Amino acid sequence: NAGVTQTPKFQVLKTGQSMTLQCAQDMNHNSMYWYRQDPGMGLRLIYYSASEGTTDKGEVPNGYNVSRLNKREFSLRLESAAPSQTSVYFCASKGGWGAGELFFGEGSRLTVL
Amino acid sequence: GQQVMQIPQYQHVQEGEDFTTYCNSSTTLSNIQWYKQRPGGHPVFLIQLVKSGEVKKQKRLTFQFGEAKKNSSLHITATQTTDVGTYFCAGPPGTASKLTFGTGTRLQVTL
């Protein structure tokens, strides 16, 4: 049971470099999310996709882009990384419509130098 | 925008003591969820509360949703070292597809 799989688990970038965080879920869930977690700040929503073909901004979308490639995959792209984007990134998914449990991936730790 | 605050930010207890974390939202919530994150791990769903005044129990854990649906609490009776981690509440501000997480309460339990 893979659940939600994120790659890579660790990445070090230099300021200005670009990269894409990949996320895939095998639970046939409609909704997918990208959160970032910083010490003392909890989890902040970057972007989410309520269903295949739709994406919406969360609390902290600046500096990021997303693609809902298909029902399974939701990627997060940093076009020009900045040190302020050093964080742990979590992808999550939710089945059904409306309220419900979020299933999280194991996280991707990104450091921008 | 919606803000969800939790207090305390950190609590250190001895094993066997009780623990409570409180969650307060700036807006009314349609439901509230609780998650636990072990050190170095990812958040794991614990429970969801939907009704005003609802109380649910899971073994030593008691969850409560306020009458006004703007606050919630998690109480752990007789903590154990396995309870160590950060506890987050989360609620949708409007559309149920989007969850805003609280700031979290980190619990440390020592023998």
Q: What is the pLDDT of residues A56-81, one digit of tens each?
A: 999 999 999 999 989 999 999 999 99
How many angstroms separate the CA atoms of A79 and B49, rounded? Answer: 39
Q: What is the pLDDT of residues B83-106, one digit of tens each?
A: 999 999 998 865 556 788 999 999
Residue length of chain B: 111
Q: What is the pLDDT of residues A17-57, one digit of tens each?
A: 999 999 999 999 999 999 999 987 789 999 999 888 899 99
Which DSSP symbol is given to B101?
E
Query: Please, what's the b/e burial string for B61-100 (b: 16 or more CB within 10 A of its CB; e: otherwise)?
Result: bebbbbeebbbbbbebeebeeebebbbbbbbbbeebbbbb
Contact B45 A103 (CB under 8 A): yes
The order of strands in the sheet holding A74-78 is: A4-7, A19-25, A74-78, A64-68
Q: Which of A10, A36, A60, A102 to mutate to test the interface with B (most CBs of B within 10 A)?
A: A102
**B93 reaches A (C-beta below 8 A):** no
**B95 reaches A (C-beta below 8 A):** yes
pLDDT, average across residues B33-52? 96
- With beta carbons under 8 A apart, name residues in chain B contacting A47: none
How many angstroms separate the CA atoms of B17 and B39, rounded? Answer: 21
Token code pair at residue B84 = 């160590």
- In this prediction, residue B94 carries a pLDDT of 59
Minimal CA separation from A101 to chain B, in Å: 6
**B101 reaches A (C-beta below 8 A):** yes
Query: Please, what's the b/e burial string for A64-91 (b: 16 or more CB within 10 A of its CB; e: otherwise)?
Result: bebebeebbbbbbebeebeeebbbbbbb
3-state secondary structure (DSSP) of residue A1: coil
pLDDT, average across residues A96-103? 81
Contact B98 A90 (CB under 8 A): no
Instruction: Give the nearest partner residue to A90 out of B1, B42, B95, using CB atoms.
Output: B42
